[in-house]
Chain A
Amino acid sequence: MSDTTPGEYLRTIAILAAATAFALPFRDHVNTIDVAMLYLLAVVVVATFYRRGPAILASVLAILAFDFVFVPPYYTFGVHDTDYLFTFGVMFVVALLMSGLTTRIREQAREAAERERRTAALYELDQAMTAAATRAEVTAIAERHIGSAGGGDARIVLVDDAGADWPGDGIFEHLAVRITAAWVHDSGEPGGPGTRHCTEAEALICPLRTGVRRLGVVVLAPEPEDRIPSAEEVETVAELARHTADLLDRVSLHERHERARAEVEAERLRSSLLSSLSHDLRTPLGAIEGAASSLREETAVLPADVRHELAGTILEESRRMNRLVSNLLDMVRVESGSLTVQKSWQPLEEVLGVVLIRLDEALREHPVALHLPPELPLVPIDEILVEQVFVNLLENAARYTPPGTPLEVRAKETDDSVLVEVSDHGPGLPPGQEEMVFHKFFQGDGTRAAGGAGLGLTICRGIVTAHGGRIWAAPRDGGGAAFRFTLPLGGPPPGPVPTAAES
Chain B
Amino acid sequence: MNPPAAVVLVIEDDAPMRRFLGAALRAQAYRVVEAASAREGLAQAAGRNPGVILLDLGLPDGDGLDLTPRLRAGTRAAIIVISARGREHDKVTALDRGADDYLTKPFGVPELLARVRVALRHAASTGGAMDAPVFEAGQVRVDLVRRRVFRGDVEVHLTPTEYKLLAALVRHAGRVITHRQLLEEVWGANYAGQTHYLRVYMAQLRHKLERDPARPRLLSTEPGVGYRLEER
Contact = CB atoms under 8 A, between A and B. Distances in A.
Interface string A320-361: 001000100100000000000000111101111110110000
Contact of A384 (B159, B202, B213, B223): B223
B125 to A, nearest CB: 28
A131 interface: no
Nearest to B88: A384
Given A357-B215, A383-B223, A384-B224, A495 B194 contact: yes
B203 to A, nearest CB: 5
Given A356-B214, A372-B214, A384-B88, A346 B220 contact: no
Contact of B86 (A349, A378, A384, A501): A384
Given A349-B214, A354-B221, A387-B223, A502 B159 contact: yes
Interface of A: 315, 318, 322, 326, 329, 344-347, 349-354, 356-357, 370, 372, 378, 383-384, 387, 494-495, 497-498, 501-503
A354 B223 contact: yes
A351 B86 CA distance: 16
B196 interface: yes
B98 interface: no
A315 B106 CA distance: 11
A329 to B, nearest CB: 7
A347 B85 CA distance: 22
A502 B159 CA distance: 6
Interface in B186-212: 194-197, 199-203, 206
A87 to B, nearest CB: 109
B139 interface: no
Contacts, number: 64
Nearest to A383: B223
Nearest to A358: B223
Given A326-B85, A384-B88, A495-B194, A378 B220 contact: no
Given A357-B215, A494-B196, 7 more contacts: A326-B85, A349-B203, A350-B221, A353-B216, A494-B194, A495-B196, A497-B196
Contacts of A352: 214
Contacts of A344: 195-196
- Nearest first, the 9 closest Cβ-Cβ pairs linking A and B are A502-B159, A494-B196, A345-B196, A346-B199, A497-B200, A384-B224, A354-B221, A356-B215, A370-B214
A353 B215 contact: yes
A78 B196 CA distance: 120
**A344, A350, A354: residue with the most chain B Cβ atoms closer than 10 Å:** A350
**In which size bucket is the chain B interface?**
20 to 34
B160 A346 contact: no
Nearest to B191: A498
A318 B16 CA distance: 15
Interface of B: 85-86, 88, 106, 108, 159-161, 194-197, 199-203, 206, 213-216, 220-221, 223-224
B22 to A, nearest CB: 18
Contact of A329 (B86, B88, B197): B86
Given A354-B221, A354-B223, A383-B224, A349 B196 contact: no
A230 to B, nearest CB: 69
Contacts of A357: 215-216, 220
Contact of B196 (A318, A370, A378): A378
B163 to A, nearest CB: 10
B159 A503 contact: yes
A345 B199 contact: yes
B106 A322 contact: yes
Given A350-B199, A354-B221, A502-B161, A318 B106 contact: yes
B16 to A, nearest CB: 12
A501 B161 CA distance: 10
Nearest to A503: B159
Contacts of A501: 160
Contacts of B86: 329, 384
A347 B200 CA distance: 7
A110 B50 CA distance: 103
Contacts of B214: 349, 352-353, 356, 370, 372
Contacts of A356: 214-215
A502 B160 contact: yes
**B161, B200, B216, B220: residue with the most chain A Cβ atoms closer than 10 Å:** B200
A199 B90 CA distance: 70
A344 B194 CA distance: 9
